[in-house]
């Protein structure tokens, strides 16, 4: 039988400190740990959810990897590249690639009454994954993918509000080129993602319309959008694509550039990286609060059990064994706090995720409510980290046990 565990079980069952108030402080320690862990769970869940929402929206507009002409630089008026690229067959065999979608972009100006707004007209072909826009569709439908001659367009709710148009109405669009072009597009659907920076400018249509406006051939596009199974491997897949292109003999007039989602939207990723710092500050503070409460709780327990310590030492219990007794008891208290903290944190997270109790301004936060995403690995790491760090902090008060004299403590009252 484990002697230390036996003593701890007797201590727990005997309700220590009932008269001295040690139980009250132990309960405070349990509450402090549980609240600290609940705050940490919510902080990480909100940060993870916020990152996931933003990245999903950015991916919906631009995919994980984009291949376009090197001459395009950062301009939306990109020169054409061939739809028939030698690296495509190898790319389709890559298990990390979930979809390859040709696209074309064209800057333009839309007019409704006296209102003029600049837009980016983005053309896609049949087979394009409209899942993101179907999810965020607020009125109408997506453009007919099987009708290349269709003048239907999909616009955002913010743009529709500015132009005062609704689904089914016509929208005159001008393209500044030589010679200038005009198209009387028809709004077939309205979407709303909350990502105002993109919502206000992106208008979707059939790719054949941009080919016609630019006088391109049927096999010419602005580039390819690559969507991945695992976004975490974005840089790895992008490097693989670069190596594939470098190995192939590509005409110097058709040089390509590969950009990841981070390259396409660096401002958003810089913003998200700042939120990481805030969460680390919160985690550090919560760990310190839980640790200091446990230190004070263990000190009170040691003082409350001074006579027991003296008796056990007089019977031959060494300092290491005494330290293990109180560390086991501290582990029991921390365990109770962790269990309660998980229940509180997960309950609040589930309530927010399902009922959207706390709403946000999409123009400031890019989402309409506080997003929640619970990662099991994060939960395990938070619990394990809290347990290990607080137990390490318990080594400080446990050293007091080595200074307790059996002769004096047996007489202690």
134-148, 153-167, 394-408: which has the highest mean pLDDT?
A: 153-167
Listed residue (284, 254, 291, 249) closest to 86, CA to CA: 249
Listed residue (207, 239, 212) closest to 96, CA to CA: 239
Listed residue (171, 212, 173, 174) closest to 189, CA to CA: 171
Which tens digit of pLDDT belongs to each residue from 304-337?
777 777 777 777 777 778 777 778 888 888 899 9
pLDDT at residue 278 in the model:
84
pTM: 0.83
Which tens digit of pLDDT belongs to each residue from 231-243?
999 999 999 988 8
Which tens digit of pLDDT belongs to each residue from 252-262?
556 888 999 99
Question: Which position has the higher pLDDT, 411 or 361?
Answer: 361
Which tens digit of pLDDT belongs to each residue from 26-53?
788 889 889 999 999 999 999 999 999 9
Q: Rg (Cα) of the chain, in Å, rounded?
A: 31
Full 3-state SS string of 249-288: CCCHHHCEEEEEHHHHCHHHHHHHHHHHHHHHHHHHHHHH
The answer to whether 58 and 199 are in contact (CB under 8 A) is no
d(CA 194, CA 361): 9
pLDDT at residue 17 in the model:
46
Q: Is the per-residue pLDDT at 132 higher than 90?
A: yes
d(CA 344, CA 336): 12
Helix axes 319-355, 266-304, angle to 10 degrees: 140
SS3 348: helix
pLDDT category, 379, cuts 50, 70, 90? very high
Q: Does residue 170 come out as left (phi exceeding 0), alpha (psi in the -120 to 50 range) or beta?
A: beta
């Amino acid at each position: 039988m484990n002697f230390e565990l036996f003593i701890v079980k007797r201590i727990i069952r005997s309700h220590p400190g009932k008269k001295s108030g040690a139980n009250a402080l132990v309960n405070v320690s349990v509450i402090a740990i549980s609240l600290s862990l609940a705050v940490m769970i919510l902080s990480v869940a909100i940060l993870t959810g916020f990152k996931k929402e933003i990245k999903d929206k950015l991916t919906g507009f631009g995919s994980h990897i984009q291949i376009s002409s090197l001459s395009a630089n950062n301009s939306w008026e990109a020169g054409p590249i061939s739809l028939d690229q030698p690296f495509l067959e190898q790319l389709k065999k890559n298990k990390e690639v979930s979809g390859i979608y040709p696209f074309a972009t064209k800057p333009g100006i839309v007019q409704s009454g006296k209102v003029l707004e600049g837009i980016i007209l983005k053309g896609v072909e049949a087979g394009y994954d409209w899942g993101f826009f179907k999810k965020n569709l607020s009125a109408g439908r997506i453009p007919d993918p099987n009708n290349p001659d269709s003048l239907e367009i999909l616009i955002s709710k913010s743009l529709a509000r500015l132009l005062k148009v609704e689904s089914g109405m016509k929208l005159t669009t001008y393209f500044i080129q030589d010679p200038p072009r005009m198209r009387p597009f028809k709004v077939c659907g309205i979407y709303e993602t909350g990502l105002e920076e993109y919502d206000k400018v992106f208008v979707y249509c059939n790719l054949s319309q941009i080919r016609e406006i630019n006088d391109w051939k049927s096999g010419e596009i602005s580039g390819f959008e690559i969507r991945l199974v695992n976004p975490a491997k974005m840089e790895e897949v992008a490097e693989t694509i670069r190596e594939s292109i470098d190995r192939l003999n590509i005409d110097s007039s058709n040089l390509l550039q590969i950009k990841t989602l981070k390259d396409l939207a660096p401002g958003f990723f810089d913003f998200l990286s700042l939120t990481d710092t805030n969460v680390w500050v919160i985690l550090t503070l919560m760990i310190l609060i839980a640790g200091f409460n446990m230190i004070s709780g263990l000190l009170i327990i040691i003082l409350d059990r001074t006579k027991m310590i003296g008796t056990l030492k007089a019977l031959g219990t060494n300092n290491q064994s005494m330290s293990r007794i109180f560390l086991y008891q501290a582990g029991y208290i921390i365990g109770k706090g962790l269990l309660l903290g998980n229940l509180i944190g997960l309950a609040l997270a589930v309530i927010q995720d399902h009922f959207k109790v706390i709403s946000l301004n999409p123009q400031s936060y890019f989402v309409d409510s506080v997003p929640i995403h619970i990662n099991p690995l994060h939960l395990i790491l938070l619990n394990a980290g809290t347990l290990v760090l607080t137990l390490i902090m318990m080594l400080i008060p446990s050293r007091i046990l080595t200074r307790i004299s059996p002769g004096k403590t047996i007489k202690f009252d």
